[in-house]
Structure 1
């Protein structure tokens, strides 16, 4: 087990190193840089001032030197300074992380708490009207873009209450926090819950046909015990995989939702930084998202052994 963990951690570091190289050099390949954008906005270009600004920002140095300065600073916790606001990049990023994390966490909770039970019910009631109704709901969730659903929610709120739901980034109580985050979280989590429900249903249908399920029923086990203690326990691995992927996706995939609901989160801030070619912000945000994705995949692999005792990671 220890040797497996060491190998996995080494592969994680290699993956993150490759991602950092791709992020850095692809960002420099994109035409234009922050200096060109600033001077284009001013409408006047002084070659001497432009050279001085490039030297001050450090983008006149060779790309290898720029990469070394960035990645060594990132490992030390020094994220540099934002080119636009001239504030420390960490100071710009940190206040936005909890907002996106709360939104993603609540959306994931909604997805799992709704998708798994409905997937079990749909599998158990296969071929009934309830099953067909739940399958229609799941297909609707997979078909409706989250941003369009968010616009529908905002329109309905205006029509019913005369105003749009306002987002408060600093709620003072738990109830206020739930009221603030629940609507955008449900909009985002609707698609995830639909995917979770379909995966749960498919996995449950496969398990319910196994011999040990018939044996459990023959021994007099209740329907709840058969469905949840026997079937769901053995069908949960694909569901865990989907939830892990969705958790990683939600951290960086909330761009449109944060824009629609005017949420000052990480994803929306990343788009603004890309538009302004704010290299320190873009590089560090994408690296943080990459760390979350790689960590989520590692946690999912570890959960396999927890939920299925047949899985063992040997040295």
Structure 2
């Protein structure tokens, strides 16, 4: 198991390097001069040149990448062009809302998707199965911002159960925090749950046709025990895999959802940085998310040992 973990970490290093090269190239090869944007319309050529030197924009591309990558290894992602604050500090200031929203979304998703997928597989080709799969198709088809606006109109504007926008930090109380992220979390979860429910159903259908499930039925074991203990555990690998893959969808959804509900998280920071062409923030945030997703994929691979004993070897 330890050797498997080391192998996965080593194999992730070149992937992260390629991601870093792609991020740096994508941002630095786009049209426009950040130095001109930062200096303003009334700046003199000398002032623009000073800004260009300070940002290393006068260096060759490979030299700028080496400087940026070396600083990134030391957790120095540069300084924001507009605010002048370190990018790592800006990310740290915004990390709580994003992680709370992602965590609540993940919990809601699993509580919705896995039971629906199990029930759909147990009641395959019945009206219940068709209704659940119809919900899954609908949830995966509707854009997350449309769901967000509908939820905000019904539960915030009309019923006034939840705040329309904003985020209450954990320092103000867990209840207020959960109340502020409930609607955006549900909007994200409905999209996320649709994918997981379909995969759970497909994996469960395959397991329910195996001999040990027929034996459990013949012994008269209770249906919940058959579905949860015998079937769901054996179907856990594809379900956990799609949860890990779906987190990439969740990251993209966080950017949109935080903008819709005005949540001051990393997604909102990314949108603001793109509109201002604050490329150190854009680079830092994308690299942060890429590293996070690689770490999540490694954790997902490690979780396979809970469902497949062969991974432990």
Check conservation: 1:96, 1:266, Cα contact below 8 A.
yes
2:68 equivalent in structure 1: 70
1:270 equivalent in structure 2: 270
TM-score, normalised to structure 1, is: 0.92
**Residue aligned with 1:90, SS:** helix
For residues 132 and 284 of structure 1, the distance between their equivalents in structure 2, rounded to whole angstroms, comes to 44
Check conservation: 2:163, 2:180, Cα contact below 8 A.
no
For residues 79 and 209 of structure 1, the distance between their equivalents in structure 2, rounded to whole angstroms, comes to 52
Taking the TM superposition and a 5 Å limit, the aligned residue runs for 1:109-124 are: 109-124=107-122
Check conservation: 2:192, 2:249, Cα contact below 8 A.
no
- Aligned-residue CA RMSD (Å): 1.9
1:9 equivalent in structure 2: 9
Measured after TM superposition, the shift of residue 129 of structure 1 is: 2.3
More moved, 66-75 vs 289-298 = 66-75
2:127 equivalent in structure 1: 129
2:30 equivalent in structure 1: 30
Q: 2:142 aligns with which of 118, 121, 144?
A: 144
Distance 1:134 1:252, change over 3 A: closer
Gaps of 5+ in 2: none
Check conservation: 1:244, 1:296, Cα contact below 8 A.
yes
* Count of residue pairs brought into register by the alignment: 311
More moved, 213-222 vs 244-253 = 244-253
Measured after TM superposition, the shift of residue 65 of structure 1 is: 2.2
**Residue aligned with 1:85, SS:** coil
Check conservation: 1:108, 1:246, Cα contact below 8 A.
no
Check conservation: 1:146, 1:187, Cα contact below 8 A.
yes
More moved, 9-18 vs 55-64 = 55-64
Check conservation: 2:167, 2:264, Cα contact below 8 A.
no
For residues 168 and 94 of structure 2, the distance between their equivalents in structure 1, rounded to whole angstroms, comes to 9
Check conservation: 2:188, 2:257, Cα contact below 8 A.
yes
2:311 equivalent in structure 1: 312
Gaps of 5+ in 1: none
Question: Could you report, residue by residue, the CA deviation over 1:45-97 in whole angstroms, capped at 9, with x for unpaired residues?
Answer: 53222112211222112222222221111111222211110112222111111
Check conservation: 1:33, 1:277, Cα contact below 8 A.
no
**Residue aligned with 2:235, SS:** helix
Question: Could you report, residue by residue, the CA deviation over 1:71-127 in whole angstroms, capped at 9, with x for unpaired residues?
Answer: 111111222211110112222111111111110111111111111011111111123
Check conservation: 1:125, 1:131, Cα contact below 8 A.
yes
For residues 145 and 246 of structure 2, the distance between their equivalents in structure 1, rounded to whole angstroms, comes to 17
1:51 equivalent in structure 2: 49
Distance 1:251 1:98, change over 3 A: farther
TM-score, normalised to structure 2, is: 0.93
Taking the TM superposition and a 5 Å limit, the aligned residue runs for 1:116-265 are: 116-156=114-154, 157-161=156-160, 165-171=164-170, 172-265=172-265
Taking the TM superposition and a 5 Å limit, the aligned residue runs for 1:287-298 are: 287-298=287-298
Distance 1:206 1:162, change over 3 A: closer
**Residue aligned with 2:311, SS:** coil
Measured after TM superposition, the shift of residue 38 of structure 1 is: 3.3
Measured after TM superposition, the shift of residue 218 of structure 1 is: 1.2
For residues 161 and 169 of structure 1, the distance between their equivalents in structure 2, rounded to whole angstroms, comes to 16
Measured after TM superposition, the shift of residue 276 of structure 1 is: 2.3
